[in-house]
Amino acid sequence: MAKIEDILELERIEENIFRGIATETLLPRTFGGQVAGQALVSAVRTVVPEFQVHSLHGYFLRPGDPTKGIVYQVDRIRDGRSFCTRRVTAVQGGHAIFTMSASFHADEQGIEHQDEMPTVPRPEELPDAKTLVEQGREEFAWALREWSNWDFRFVPPEHMVADRGVAAHQRVWFRSRATLPDDPVFHVCTLAYMSDMTLLGSAHVIHPEEKTQDASLDHAMWFLRPFRADDWLLYDQTSPSAGFGRALTQGRIYDSRGNMVAAVVQEGLTRYLRES
């Protein structure tokens, strides 16, 4: 599979127009995290370094063709003293397949607090996807087929202490297997890519036998503190509601030292497979 460095290396066609490569994949449509990550890269390249991305809000409009590249058109909505805003439209075959707004903030000082990281086993104490598949857990084979460059360690249910009243809960350690470039912006764009990998799966942990058609519908992220995507990150995921063929999911991402580095909310398609 393509390296994340290649996926996020966009070609600049015009001042505000970029093109991302098609990547090798086993998926029938372009992976949503790829589109979000590339869109964020295109937005970042139109902002001066003094501003750092702090949030993005995206909508998946059409499935992408994974055999074709994607063009990203950036609108410079606002350049202020403290905040900048960009709107990105991803286009393929003459149609918009994804649209995203991204906000950038100059570094400032203010109040500080965060929730504590959940108590879970360390990733080194948990089996990786390869080990789970060798043990007969075929439900984790997707991680080896599509994302062999990433290391996933799922926290077993017996080590989960969920908050009272939480409907569906999942926790996953993850990181890039390879050492990534030091540029902090690269790690932010990489996390935008990675954040779409397991989140919708949190809606399925209490419906293991149900067969559904799944796809990301919208995706929002907030980047809270510095991190590296090649260090272990804990993705604390919940699905507070599912119904009418859609599931709401949310996640908090912590680094291995317990710092909350990002938050994610996503709604995804989870409708029953239609009989042919």
151 is catalytic: no
Where do the DSSP E strands lie in the chain? 11-14, 17-20, 51-60, 70-79, 83-92, 95-106, 150-154, 169-176, 212-223, 233-243, 246-255, 260-272
The CA distance from 47 to 103, in Å, is 10
Q: Looking at residue 125, what DSSP letter applies?
A: G
**H helix or E strand, kind and range, residue 32:** helix 32-44
Annotated catalytic residue within 128, 151, 196, 236? 196
In sequence order, what are the residues at sequence separation of 6 or more whose Cβ sits closer than 8 angstroms to the Cβ of residue 44?
53, 102, 185, 188, 189
Annotated catalytic residue within 38, 237, 239, 266? 266
Alpha helices (H) along 113-172: 129-134, 141-146
The CA distance from 43 to 173, in Å, is 28
Residue 107, helix vs strand vs coil: coil
216 is catalytic: yes
42 is catalytic: no
Annotated catalytic residue within 38, 103, 170, 216? 216
Residue type, 7: I
Residue 61, helix vs strand vs coil: coil
> What contacts 24+ positions apart, CB below 8 Å, involve 247-251?
247/200, 247/203, 249/199, 249/200, 249/202, 249/203, 251/195, 251/199, 251/202
Please give the backbone phi and psi of residue 268, each rounded to the nearest 5 degrees, phi first: -130, 155
Q: Looking at residue 126, what DSSP letter applies?
A: S
Catalytic center residues:
196, 216, 266
